[in-house]
Amino acid sequence: AGSAGLIAAIKGLCGMVKTLLPTVALLMIIAAGVLYAAGQFMGAETRARASVWATAMLTGAV
């Protein structure tokens, strides 16, 4: 009985992750674009950091 409950909980968690994952990926892509665009208005060092962060966010979203 205990293992059946655990399996049901894991299946429920897996289903929740499957529904949330596309939304989180979309939000990360949008945030990466905003971060990159905001970095373009800053100085050279901040622009470079924003570009790296945006690239990392895009990679994480994919």
pLDDT in tens, 14-62: 999 999 999 999 999 999 999 999 999 999 999 999 999 999 999 999 8
For the record, the structure tokens of 37 come out as 């665009």
Q: pTM of the entire structure? A: 0.74
Q: Residue 42 — left, alpha, or beta (φ > 0 → left; ψ -120 to 50 → alpha)?
A: beta
